[in-house]
Amino acid sequence: MENQTNITTSDPCIALAIEEVRQSQSRSTLKLLADHPLRKVNGGLDIVRLDRDEPDGSLIVYFGLINCSFFLAVQVDPLPMPKMRSVHIAAGNECYLMCSTTVHPLAALLAATRLLPTEQWDMGADTRSSGLSIKPPMPLADSVDDNVGLLLNILEQDAAGVRQLAALTNAVLEVHWYGPSHHLPRIKLNTATLRRIADLNVVLDLRLNVG
C-alpha cells in the first residue's frame, strides 16, 4: 500500500485510472459514478490507496466517494503497456478490540496488559461498565483479512495480557464492513487468521454497514 502523499499522477497506470473515471465511455462505469460521485480534495480526485500487491502484478487505484466509507476501485494491467481491466465498488472495513465489564474497575483492566488503549472508561455514577478499546490506524480501503492481521500484530505483542483481558471482560474483536446497499457482503478471513483470533480467546463480531 502506498501513502496518499507518495502518489504521483505521472505514473502511466494511475494516469489511465484517472482518465477512466474522468472521461469514461463505459456505461457501467458511468452508472457507478452517477450513483456514487467521486470525492475531491484540494481540487483533485481523492486517491486513497494504491494496491500493488496483487499476485498477477496488476495495480488497483482506490478513489474516495462522497459521504461513503467504501470506494471506487479501478484495476489496471501495467504490462506490456497500461490497459484497463475493471472498475468496481470496493467495500471498506475497520476493526478493533473492545473490552467491557460490569464487574471489574478500569484499573484491573489496565493492569492486565502492557498494551496502550486507544480509548478507556471507568464505571461510576454515569457509567455502569468499565472498558477499553485498542484500534491501530488502518486504511479503510483494504481487505478484512489484512486489517484484522494488522490488529492481531499489535495484540500479539502482549498475547498473555490480551488473554487476561478476555478472562476479565467481554473481549470482542469487532470488524465493521462498509458497502452500498446493492453490494452483496463478502468477508473473507483465512484459516491462519481465525486461528490467531482463537488463540487470544476473544470473540469475533462481524458487523455489516450498508448505505
Q: What H or E segment, with its residue span, contains residue 76?
A: strand 71-77
Confidence check: pLDDT of 2 > 80: no
HSE on the CB side for 53, CA within 13 Å?
A: 8
Confidence check: pLDDT of 159 > 90: yes
List the domains of the chain with CATH numbers: 4-90 (3.10.450), 92-210 (no CATH)
What pLDDT score does 89 carry? 94
Read out DSSP for 95-151?
A: EEEEEEESSS-HHHHHHH-SSPPSEEE--SSS-S-EEEEE-----SSS-HHHHHHHH
Within a 10 A sphere around the Cβ of 111, how many other Cβ atoms?
13
What span, in angstroms and rounded, lies between the C-alpha atoms of 1 and 149? 15
Q: What's the grid cell of residue 148?
A: 484484522
- pTM (2 d.p.): 0.86
What span, in angstroms and rounded, lies between the C-alpha atoms of 169 and 203? 11
Confidence check: pLDDT of 178 > 60: yes
* Contact assessment for residue 90 and residue 203, using Cβ atoms and an 8 Å cutoff: no
Task: Provide the sign of the torsion angle of the four alpha carbons 135, 137, 142, 145, taken in this order.
Answer: negative
Query: Using one digit for the tens of pLDDT, what is the confidence trace for 29-55?
Result: 999 999 999 999 988 999 999 998 888
- The confidence band for 136, taking pLDDT boundaries of 50, 70 and 90, is very high
Query: Using one digit for the tens of pLDDT, what is the confidence trace for 3-28?
Result: 444 456 678 999 999 999 999 888 99
Q: Mean pLDDT of all residues in the chain?
A: 92
